[in-house]
Amino acid sequence: MDLHKIARVTRLNKLSKGRMLLIAAAVTWSTLSCSIDNCTAAAVANAMARGESAFTSTLDKMRLGGIPYRNSAGQVVISGSMSDRDYLLTGCGTQAQIAYDIARASEPAITMDMLEIADELGTSMEGLEYSVKTASSIKSKIERKTDTAIRQGKLPKSDVEYVQETGDLIRYTQIVPHDRMAAMTSKTIALLKAKGYVLEKVDNKYLNPNGRYKAIHLDIVNAQGVHFEMQIHSQQTLAANRATHAMYEEWRRPETPAERKEQLYRDIRSIYAAVPQPKGIMAVKNYSRI
């Protein structure tokens, strides 16, 4: 990608309608109803059944470049670019890698829609370079879930099952005015539905009085069945998130002693508690389609 062109990208990259349609058409391979590089729906199905590792490299090549975006700090970032450096699920099976690659290849088209929504609302996206979860992060999650299952005397799931049930392989952080968080959540949901997305879940963390963390999470699925997450934050809650990140990472490690976990939980909760409650936030009700 021409870095000089990227440098001229504005807040939303101002893609022409024709270019948007072209990119959207290119990524419709994720429906597994088209053929790209001779990787047809039947071929992918057979690969997943037989575990042919050759198809993982073919799928990875299908990921288009991410979408350039100028963030709130004035920096131009490329959506999902962190996963371009970290995309191999080392030690996992072929089916897990394929499930991850499908999500990675689907990201650019979804990102364009999310940027259109942010532009219409006058909001912004934060950390768009992390819009695709990295392979190492997924591996850590698989290890934590496996460890938890073993500690509970349960049989751990397969790596592909853990990947498929990870709802934030693609994820976004939308930054909204603090006292308009409730209103912006409602408007975001309406725009998602207007674009054909299905709202799977609304998780308003403010409704949990004992929760350590505050934000609103939306679980969403597109027409091809690809799941993703949008977190709705304000600059205030984002600052709290950054201030507590290291504590959270320590808290969620299986080896962290229980007493230390309790202290970390209290410390994280106290930092979020210092952030004023957004106006009308308690009116945003939790929802689950299932």
Q: Tell me the per-residue pLDDT of 111-138, one tens digit each, with 9 for 90 and over.
A: 999 999 999 999 999 999 999 999 999 9
The encoded tokens of residue 191 equal 């725009």
Residue 263: count other Cβ atoms within 10 Å of its Cβ. Answer: 12
Q: Is the pLDDT of residue 160 over 50?
A: yes
Q: Name which of 14, 37, 16, 15 is nearest 26 in CA terms.
A: 37
Q: Name which of 144, 68, 145, 55 is nearest 100 in CA terms.
A: 55
Read off the pLDDT of each residue in 52-60 and give the average, rounded to a whole number.
Answer: 48
Q: Which residues contact 86 (CB under 8 A, 6 or more apart)?
A: 134, 135, 136
Three-class SS state of 125: strand
- Tell me, letter by letter, the H, E, C secondary structure of 151-169: HCCCCCCCHHHHHHCCCCC
The encoded tokens of residue 144 equal 């934590």
Q: How confident is the model at residue 253 (pLDDT cuts 50, 70, 90)?
A: confident
**Most confident by average pLDDT, 82-86, 150-154, 232-236:** 232-236
Q: Name which of 284, 236, 244 is nearest 267 in CA terms.
A: 244
Entry pTM = 0.78
Distance, CA of 278 to chain centre: 24
Q: What is the pLDDT of residue 65?
A: 75
Q: How confident is the model at residue 162 (pLDDT cuts 50, 70, 90)?
A: very high
Q: How confident is the model at residue 62 (pLDDT cuts 50, 70, 90)?
A: low
